[in-house]
Amino acid sequence: MGKALDGVRILDFTHVQSGPTCTQLLAWFGADVIKVERAGAGDITREQLRDIPDVDSLYFTMLNHNKRSVTIDTKNPEGKQVLEALIQKCDVLVENFAPGALDRMGFTWERIQELNSRMIVASVKGFGPGPYEDCKVYENVAQCAGGAASTTGFDDGPPVVTGAQIGDSGTGLHLALGIVTALYQRTQTGRGQRVLAAMQDGVLNLCRVKLRDQQRLARTGTMKEYPQYPNGKFGEAVPRAGNASGGGQPGWILKCKGWETDPNAYIYFITQAPVWAKICNVIGKEEWATDPDYATPAARLPHLKDIFAEIERWTMTKTKFEAMQILNKYDIPCGPILSMKEIAEEPSLRKTGTIVEVDHPTRGKYLTVGNPIKLSDSPTEVKRSPLLGEHTDEVMAELGYSPEQISALRTAGAI
């Protein structure tokens, strides 16, 4: 069966996490992704956080599936020529170097356009144009600069970063959408264009509801679904809301049976208004369904702390899975706090291809996260990540280089 991006060639100049997330998605959708790496070293993540000596790390293998790897020294004049040939052959160049690195290599937007006017040049940078545009940025810097850290955590503690890689993988996702959109526009215009996804912008986009809340706070001085109401104080900026739900249906994380020893024996419980009467029945507080202090969402807001304490008395008598089973029967929205161990062992995620076991020639078998986006006409097959330079000869031959020329370039250190 064909793939959605069959025929699209990507010159993948990405490294670490943000860019590789993007090109991995494009590869899963069928694009031919040619990852250009530094000869001898490769993407720095190949050797970061290694669990097996001298073997590509999980950090690398889990972000570079379905790609081909070529090693080219882009600072070597002959290496530059190989890169020029690749630019002429590819549809998209994706990079996430520090600001200015591509220009310093001699591949300015103008030069790339001379070589291939249809080329789409897509970049992840830490910041868009402005005071910080020259800064190098990693995940947590983006989380802090994009509004996530100041709004995550508890009111009486410091800002907290989240384990979800919203700065890196989140921005990679944004960039992938920009690329396919530019490819679509190119079918009308015949021209390439530049695509920029700044990590600060990507994080802020995911924190959109917090900018909503900033304006609500400025106008009214309060936000009744936040734990600061009525038990604390609001300042000038959106506070950290603990585990409060981001929307209009109050929620909180509650202890379940076994919480004393299991750090993940918790459930997220949402007191969704349409099922309030059922919640009252389940927890044995039938009178709350009609009590004017509890019967309506507005009346409940000042009592949320007590309400969740009462619900927790019930959840503590059940494991998170027992609680789920009972609550699901009544359509009460809730979710178990799943550990990574539980997720790795979950059979339904294996079945859908969201968790995949991959075999690798030097590592052996390992688990990875498959394509989270499922297309009915473009199924994803997760293939292992390439070894460093595994496809150099193959790609050079496709570019028209003879075995003698390849050998000479290798001797010259260009590849």
Query: Does the footprint of ligand CAO cover residue 137 (CB under 6 A)?
Result: yes
User: Among candidates 217, 222, 229, 223, which has minimal Cα distance to 305?
Assistant: 229
Q: What's the CA gap between 346 and 324, in Å, rounded? A: 16
Structural contact between residues 258 and 283, judged by C-beta atoms closer than 8 angstroms = no
User: Which region, judged by CB under 6 A, interacts with ligand CAO, from 130-138, 187-195, 218-226, 281-289?
Assistant: 130-138
Q: How many CB atoms lie within 10 A of CB 413?
A: 12
Structural contact between residues 10 and 64, judged by C-beta atoms closer than 8 angstroms = no
- Least separation in angstroms between residue 170's CB and ligand CAO is 11
Q: Is 247 annotated as a binding residue?
A: yes
Query: Does the footprint of ligand CAO cover residue 136 (CB under 6 A)?
Result: yes
Q: Is 18 annotated as a binding residue?
A: yes
Residue 73 vs 213, nearer CB to ligand CAO: 73
Query: Does the footprint of ligand CAO cover residue 168 (CB under 6 A)?
Result: yes
Query: Does the footprint of ligand CAO cover residue 212 (CB under 6 A)?
Result: no
Query: Does the footprint of ligand CAO cover residue 16 (CB under 6 A)?
Result: yes
Residues whose CB is less than 8 angstroms from the CB of residue 174 and which lie 6 or more positions away in sequence, other chains included? 197, 201, 202, 205
Query: Does the footprint of ligand CAO cover residue 146 (CB under 6 A)?
Result: no
- Least separation in angstroms between residue 19's CB and ligand CAO is 6
Q: Is 221 annotated as a binding residue?
A: no
Positive or negative, the CA dihedral 315, 338, 297, 232 is: positive
156 catalytic? Reply is: no
Assigned token pair, 267: 């459930």
Residue 12 vs 139, nearer CB to ligand CAO: 139
Interface residue with ligand CAO, options 24, 66, 69, 74 (CB under 6 A)? 74
- Least separation in angstroms between residue 214's CB and ligand CAO is 26
Q: What strand order describes the sheet that includes 67-71? A: 67-71, 32-37, 9-13, 92-95, 120-125, 194-198
DSSP string covering 266-335, please?
EEEEE--GGGHHHHHHHHT-GGGGT-TTTSSHHHHGGGHHHHHHHHHHHHTTS-HHHHHHHHHHTT--EE
Query: Does the footprint of ligand CAO cover residue 125 (CB under 6 A)?
Result: yes
Contact code string over 18-57 relative to ligand CAO, x by CB under 6 A: xx----------------xxx-------------------
Helices (H) and strands (E) in the chain, counts: 18, 11
The residue ranges of DSSP E strands in 155-303, in sequence order, are: 194-198, 251-255, 266-270
Q: Give the gyration radius of the chain's Cα atoms.
A: 26
Q: Which residue out of 12, 56, 168, 213 is catalytically annotated? A: 168
- Least separation in angstroms between residue 106's CB and ligand CAO is 10
Q: Indicate the pairing of strand 355-360 with strand 364-369.
A: antiparallel
Query: Does the footprint of ligand CAO cover residue 104 (CB under 6 A)?
Result: yes
- Least separation in angstroms between residue 131's CB and ligand CAO is 16
Binding site for ligand CAO (CB under 6 A): 16-19, 36-38, 72-75, 96-98, 101, 104-105, 124-126, 136-139, 168
Instruction: Specify binding-site residues for CoA.
Output: 17-18, 38, 96-98, 104, 136-139
User: What residues are designated binding site?
Assistant: 17-18, 38, 96-98, 104, 136-139, 247-249
Q: What is the set of active-site residues? A: 168
